Amino acid sequence: MRDFDYKKSLGQNFLKDKNVIDKIVGAPDIKENSLVIEIGPGAGALSIELVKKFDKVLLYEIDTRLKDILDDKLKEYNNYEILFDDFLNRDVLKDIEKYDYNNLYIVANLPYYVTTPIIMKVIKEKLPINEMVIMIQKEVADRFNATPGNKEYGQITVLLQYFFEISKVCNVSKNCFIPKPKVDSSVIRMKRRDNLLYLKAFNYFEKLVRDSFRFKRKNIKNNLSDYDLEIINRVLLKYGFDINSRSEELSYEIFVDISNELSDKKM
């Protein structure tokens, strides 16, 4: 890869540390008849381990310059498919339709510039995944697995924690990549919750959460002044909070409860 012209604009920081690769690939609980999606295989540092561990591997790579490199790296395996396209533009459910699988995973060292769009796509398109193990910017990882009351806790934390149990696998030094990125990284594991809380309307929940965190320093009463504050207060009191509390203090379960109480009225 010495002559490869890495594109910063595509988030091309390739892994070179075998220890980190082993930690990533060792993190998911791989069950029978598995299909794994890797977004951005790059030169295949992770992919070569994925084809060994998973039954089937589907790779999405935006950069066609990597075709020969990937073909060569994976030449001894036949349990993979590479789609040279922008993951964000794909109909992924359609792409995986033809696969026979029982357990679906995403394992990737993500291109950081599209971390949130990728994760939101996975949620919104209801990809039936068991687990995601992803390398992302450390700062973003800290937001994803923050607990209520923590300053990193925010809108994205609540949305993701509704769907996933999130834990950190490890932090990763800048020296583990070529070229060396400017930011620190972490690997996180996002395991789909076995029993999702009943949610009447996801779109309503998403809007409520977004509005709740609109102004960081403001409380619920101010951020949700357009909503039925009486109902919200009634729900909050059950949990020992009220409308003078701040969104950062509230667990995702409380937002689900509020959303369910309110969405009836709006729909």
Question: Residues interacting with ligand SAM, by CB under 6 A?
Answer: 10-15, 39-42, 45-46, 60-63, 86-88, 109, 111, 114
How far apart are CB 78 and ligand SAM at their closest, in Å? 20
Nearer to ligand SAM, 11 or 154 (CB): 11
d(CA 167, CA 144): 9
CB 84 within 8 A of CB 127: no
Q: Report the Cα–Cα distance between both ends of the chain, in Å, rounded.
A: 55
Tokens of 22: 């082993």
d(CA 141, CA 198): 26
How far apart are CB 113 and ligand SAM at their closest, in Å? 7
The b/e string for 211-229 (b: 16+ C-beta within 10 A; e otherwise) is bbbeeeeebbbebbeebee
How far apart are CB 260 and ligand SAM at their closest, in Å? 35
Nearer to ligand SAM, 73 or 246 (CB): 73
Nearer to ligand SAM, 107 or 235 (CB): 107
Nearer to ligand SAM, 120 or 201 (CB): 120
* Lookup result for tokens 């009447």: 200
CB-nearest residue to ligand SAM: 40
CA atoms lying within 13 Å on the CB side of residue 253: 7
Nearer to ligand SAM, 14 or 144 (CB): 14
How far apart are CB 5 and ligand SAM at their closest, in Å? 12
How far apart are CB 205 and ligand SAM at their closest, in Å? 27
CB 145 within 8 A of CB 132: no
